[in-house]
Amino acid sequence: MSDNRYKKISWALPWLCISVAGVVFCLVYFKYAYILADAWNFLFRREIKAQSYLAPLGISFITFSAVSYLMDIYRGDEAAGSLLDCALYLSFFPKVVSGPVVLWKDFKKQISVRTQNIDKCVYSLNRIMLGFAKKLILADQFGAFIAGVTFYEGGMDPITTLGTMFAYMLQIYFDFSGYSDIAIGLARLFGFEFKENFNFPYCSKSVSEFWRRWHISLGTWFREYVYIPMGGSRRGKRNTIRNQAVVFLLTGIWHGAGWSYLLWGGINGLFVILERLVADKKAYQKTPNVVKWFLTMTITFIAWQLFRFPDMEDLKLCFGSLFAQYPLTELPYTWKYYFDARIIFLMIVGTLGSTLFGWEKLKIWCKKATSPGIGFLIQELVIFVLFIVAILCMVNSTYSPFIYFQY
């Protein structure tokens, strides 16, 4: 049996490599042609121009789904589906634009055994409404606030700079987690149960833990199809560090065709590797959790600005303003103009919503409080009111596209 399976895999391997290479080539061609041409011109003093094409919608997530389909079949984790099943998996609309990244072996077994009932429908609608509330009430309001703050020639006062940086940190979380809630809720309406994509990442006490809580489906994909095939953590510390470095560099590249994304992936990978190296040290183990949390959030806070400012000159201007390298007397507006009661209230709500509700004891209490009839009715009323407020925000033209639509 093992010999036959080995022969099958040996014959299948070249076809797997060709198929994966063809799928990945499409992604590279549409998304990275410019940066590859720039790198080629810089290294070899040439003048190659990359032709501009509009990338297909959701090409990054479709590519990852296609690789999952091929790899799971090759490894025997799941059987191949029919043409219709494959098309459904690749184009299933809740996940196709911005994820979550669903593995074929998790999707295939649900195609023919989907069930639906009133409890699942209520749960699905609640997730969709909460997702819209996250997006329209919080993420878009933070985005509008950031867009309204201007970097003048004299820079910006440190408080305003710090506030906009923090607002972006909240925006990107509520924007993407809101979309994930909507996608999970829509999928559940059709009987598909997707795994959670976020687990309160701003409660993390290390960068490694952050990546176990942030965009969980992306981390799972890289672990399944890059990290483990390269050897994972089974071949010694040196190879483990190499594998982690490769994964985070690829993570940065996947997010965008620019050096800032590569740097962002490198920063996250560097601290994950450093944490692995010091994990057994007594000094690290004795460090209070609150200190670890603060350091982790500081690293995350700074790294997110590479998403906000892909242009290094803008990033330099931002940090220059943060450390007051510009005379404040020349600024026409300061933090007193930008930070009104509304945005301060929303930032407090966003901070508590992204951290406090990740506390396990509070989760248990909320579950008990909403189990009885009156508690459940109050919960549904609150969610419905939030949804109405979200619709009003959209009507008032504060909606902006989801940030992860560009990836």
Please identify every residue annotated as catalytic.
255
CA within 13 Å, CB half, 228? 9
Q: How far apart are CA 82 and CA 108, in angstroms?
A: 10
**Helix ranges, 331-372 (H):** 335-338, 341-355, 360-369
Nearest Cα to Cα of residue 141 among 404, 407, 405, 390? 390
Name the helix (H) or strand (E) containing 36: helix 2-44
Neighbours of 128 (CB within 10 A): 21
Show Cβ contacts of residue 221 under 8 Å, excluding neighbours closer than 6 positions. Answer: 64, 68, 101, 103
115 Cα distance to chain centroid: 29
Q: How far apart are CA 315 and CA 306, in angstroms?
A: 7
The conformation of residue 200, written as its DSSP 8-state character, comes to -
**Helix ranges, 309-340 (H):** 312-322, 335-338
| CA angle centred on 141, ends 385 and 350, rounded to 5° | 70
| CA angle centred on 171, ends 177 and 357, rounded to 5° | 55
Mapping DSSP to helix (H, G, I), strand (E, B) and coil, where does residue 294 land?
helix
Q: How far apart are CA 398 and CA 374, in angstroms?
A: 34
Neighbours of 42 (CB within 10 A): 9
Neighbours of 259 (CB within 10 A): 15
- In the chain, % helix, strand, coil (3-state, to 5) comes to 75, 0, 25
Show Cβ contacts of residue 92 under 8 Å, excluding neighbours closer than 6 positions. Answer: 102, 107, 187, 192
